[in-house]
Structure 1
Amino acid sequence: MQHQRIPMTVDEYHLMEQPFGYKVEYWDDHAVITPRENHVVTQLRVVARVVSPACRLVALDTSRQQEMAETFFAAFHDTVEFCDWNESHIREFADRSISGYFAGKRGVPHPASVMALAQDGSIIGLALLLTDEAGDVCLDLLCVVPAYQRQKIATSMVATAVNQLSVLGVETLSSVYHICNESSRDWHHRFGFVDVYDQMYIRLKYAWYRNEVWRRDKLGLFDGLDALKAERDFWLAQLDESSSFG
């Protein structure tokens, strides 16, 4: 995925609707739109649930780490997480991520982790869980290769893992998603994860609503403006006193 460059005048730039979570700048008569490097923490209360497997789910096989790295690359090579990265660097990151997981660099690999297999036995999805230094269980990586997305494979993998966590007495599972990855955000919310907002997210949310209220008022777009103002004020109230805006 590459950043966007949209030709426009500076006046058009100031009055454009800015996508939330992105950095929007003006360079050389173009609006330049780039994903920010921010993530949103989410938490799920662990409760056993019915699983309808969309494919074959199995425990992780450490001998297949290279295949797992290929699955990572296939799932993420054209997403906001790696905007403007070249292919070789994404592959290197995928290799480090998988090897680092099994080496325990981010926490202890959890036995509830699963991988999804196609009919030919190839890996098409991963749900890697770990226990971090604080003893909390986290969803470290969730991915499905593009050809198998939107077939409830991610849901099946995580539901299977959650059921194992429930048996073990784990009460909470945490995860994160990229602030600009709408598909990941929507999946987390549908599954039941609840966002835990930090001050950076709150500042970005307030700034977006503040700018959108100003923009619509400037353009005479008054329908729904009161609702936007209410959202702006809601996020302003969540800010720490140390946060300030001009």
Structure 2
Amino acid sequence: MTMRPGPCLALAALLTAASPAGAIQGGAPARGGDALSRATVAVGALLKPDEEENIKVTRCTGVLIGRDRVMTAAHCVRDNPLGAMVMFYQGSRPVGPALPVASVSRYAVAPGAVAEGGLVRDLAQLTLDVAVLRLAAPVRGRSAIPLGTRSRGLPATLQFAGIGLSGGAPGVLRTTTLRPLGVTETGLTIARAVGSLVCTGDSGGPVVDTRGGRARLWGVASAVITTKPPCGDIVVIAPAT
């Protein structure tokens, strides 16, 4: 699906607006030289209104996976958005300019059955899709996170980055540790945030395997399981495959 250039101008203004914002509760502010934080982006999309509503804006997190490709959660760009933009970070703070998205491709991930001992056994109602955004131009001065391999099995811990959002601006980029609890037969991972909560706006955030000293993309945050929205400590991770 191809983006329209006109609405992106208004969306860029929203992404660069200055207002207080919250991110992952707990965790730590992202560091400027960290590969994970330098590849993490804010994602904003303008959604088509229905007959009774105005245009909606979604604000999520994503990750650079190629010179002109960003992966995020599909519900962040649902319903054929009118336009979409991404913004990068320097350390924990957003830096401009916002970059337009040229097109969106979505990929469905079947829920599958949770392995024996898993926490959740019915994933049918969760958001389990991923999306790949093609930017209007290649990104310079940033390195993509390479896709990981599942051949070494489930790691003991994973690292997660999210921006969180409130009002009309990107939030503070923070990172936290996730402890995997189980994985389905189709590769969806269920994990618990260690000493932190994952919140609104963190959807689509990158989850990386850091074994061997190099970050490799395990997946993106697809849903949070919680009884007290908008934050929770149980995260469903759609595989980056």
Q: TM-score range by the shorter chain?
A: under 0.3
Query: Normalising by the residue count of structure 1, what TM-score does the alignment of the two structures yield?
Result: 0.25
Between structures 1 and 2, the one with greater helix share? 1
Query: Normalising by the residue count of structure 2, what TM-score does the alignment of the two structures yield?
Result: 0.25
Structure whose CA Rg is larger: 1
Between structures 1 and 2, the one with greater strand share? 2
